[in-house]
């Protein structure tokens, strides 16, 4: 029987609540599909700061590196917001593990599920658009990591930088994925102002020459933010830099009803990491009401991208669709007439439909 080792980093806020549901789903899928998952827990983020004084302990990095995949909840919260930036859960934990694993491509698929039409805030001509798009966010460079960075009493400095190698790598990823979808890539940048974007666009054009079957278009990020709201159905694959991808993917999640529905896969050199695109949601943490579907769908992406367990991945996404079709709704995706269930009941509803 095939056996896989999974590093489980539940993190902070709603992380542990939604992770618990994802693990139960995974356990059941493994049994149904005939493979074994060995879960090993590690600390990250605020939980790690509280337990051992650092947001990313060495043991967690070691665990990640000797695992087949990493499943992450979320990090951060008001408790740790006063720490120096590099010690906080976000920089010291999440960005640090992204760097350690060289996670360069972050895939954030957004889909408006049948039955959730009411939640889509955009209805051009009174009709709910068909939304099925994928943000391919560059995750290892840009303004998140560019040097120098500095914070003094009177000045905060970040550097937005892209090099040819980093852009080439993310473009290949986007074009390859587009081949499996509708063969359209929209590259989003700010090439009318930023040098880093001028290079970005140049490299996008160069790489596109190797993919003559895929159509490449370019859009400035300000327009893209508007077009996502005016006419979201025009998009299929959006490839963009680290900061723009962070912002546009949250915006696109709203088109499908909630951030609680948006999974992600972060692809690296060797070990990939899977996490919901949203955060630790301190406003609802500890109440048992968070939507576990982003975490559960991230687990499905893990089966697909890291373990090659395609049937298991399909089983999960179909079970999610069935649970939604059968009317299960957490608060964030509940319409005016829906009955609202909690995190556990939603997890259970998915499990029963595997």
Asked if 246 interacts with Mn ion (CB under 5 A), we say yes
- At 269, give phi and psi (nearest 5°): -65, -40
Q: Residue 171 or 273: which CB sits closer to ligand NAD? A: 273
Contacts of 27 (CB under 8 A, 6+ apart): 37
Among the listed residues 62, 81, 222, 326, the single catalytic one is: 222
* Residue 12 sits in the site that holds ligand IPM (CB under 6 A): no
Please report whether residue 10 would count as binding ligand NAD according to CB under 6 A.
no
**Stretch of residues binding ligand NAD (CB under 6 A), selected from 25-33, 106-114, 208-216, 274-282:** 274-282
CA dihedral sign of residues 327, 330, 332, 335: positive
Catalytic one among 144, 189, 211, 332? 144
Comparison of 245 and 347: residue with beta carbon closer to Mn ion: 245
Rounded to the nearest 5 degrees, what angle is found at the Cα of 140, between the Cα atoms of 57 and 82? 50
Binding status of residue 254 toward ligand IPM by CB under 6 A: no
- Please name the residues in contact with 237: beta carbons below 8 A apart, sequence gap of 6 or more: 133, 134, 136, 174, 177, 178, 181, 184, 185, 186
58 is catalytic: no
Single out the residue of 6, 7, 71, 94 in contact with ligand IPM (rule: CB under 6 A). 94
- Joined together, the tokens standing for residue 136 give 């391919």
308: left (phi over 0), alpha (psi -120 to 50) or beta: left
Binder of ligand NAD out of 101, 119, 290, 299 (CB under 6 A): 290
Question: Does residue 280 touch ligand IPM according to CB under 6 A?
Answer: no
Whether residue 283 lies in the annotated active site: no
Please identify which residue in 278, 297, 298, 349 interacts with ligand NAD, judged by CB under 6 A: 278
- CA distance linking residue 315 with residue 102, whole number of Å: 30
User: Whole-angstrom Cα distance, residue 349 to residue 352?
Assistant: 5
Q: Which of 71, 94, 112, 170 binds ligand NAD (CB under 6 A)?
A: 94
DSSP bridge pairs for 138:
105
Quote the least distance from Cβ 9 to Mn ion, whole Å.
17
Binding footprint of ligand NAD on the chain (CB under 6 A): 14, 18, 74-77, 90, 94, 258-260, 275, 278-284, 290-291, 294, 332
């Amino acid at each position: 029987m095939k056996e896989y080792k999974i590093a489980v980093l539940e993190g902070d806020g709603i992380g542990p609540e939604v992770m618990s549901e994802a693990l139960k789903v995974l356990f059941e899928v493994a049994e149904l599909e005939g493979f074994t998952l060995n879960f090993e827990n590690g600390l990250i983020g605020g939980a790690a700061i509280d337990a051992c004084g650092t947001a990313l302990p060495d043991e967690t990095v070691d665990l990640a590196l000797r695992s087949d995949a990493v499943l992450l909840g979320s990090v951060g919260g008001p408790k740790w917001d006063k720490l120096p930036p590099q010690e906080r859960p976000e920089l010291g934990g999440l960005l640090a593990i992204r760097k350690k694993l060289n996670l360069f491509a972050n895939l954030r698929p957004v889909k408006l599920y049948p039955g959730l039409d009411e939640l889509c805030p955009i209805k051009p001509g009174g009709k709910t658009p068909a939304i099925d798009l994928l943000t391919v966010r560059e995750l290892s460079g840009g303004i998140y990591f560019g040097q120098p960075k500095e914070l003094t009493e009177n000045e905060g400095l970040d550097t937005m930088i892209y090099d040819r190698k980093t852009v080439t790598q993310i473009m290949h990823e986007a074009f390859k994925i587009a081949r499996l979808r509708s063969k359209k890539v929209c590259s989003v940048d700010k090439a009318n102002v930023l040098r880093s974007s001028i290079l970005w666009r140049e490299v996008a054009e160069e790489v596109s020459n190797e993919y003559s079957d895929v159509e490449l278009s370019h859009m400035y990020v300000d327009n893209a933010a508007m077009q996502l709201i005016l006419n979201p159905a025009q998009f299929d694959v959006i490839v963009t830099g680290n900061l723009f991808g962070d912002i546009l993917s949250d915006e696109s999640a709203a088109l499908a009803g909630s951030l609680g529905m948006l999974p992600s896969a972060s692809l690296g050199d060797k070990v990939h990491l899977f996490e919901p695109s949203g955060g630790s949601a301190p406003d609802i943490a500890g109440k048992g009401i968070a939507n576990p579907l982003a975490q559960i769908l991230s687990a499905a992406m893990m089966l697909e991208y890291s373990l090659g367990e395609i049937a298991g991945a399909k089983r999960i996404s179909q079970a999610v669709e069935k649970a939604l079709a059968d009317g299960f709704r957490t608060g964030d995706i509940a319409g005016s007439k829906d009955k609202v269930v909690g995190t556990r009941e939603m997890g259970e509803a998915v499990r029963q439909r595997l």
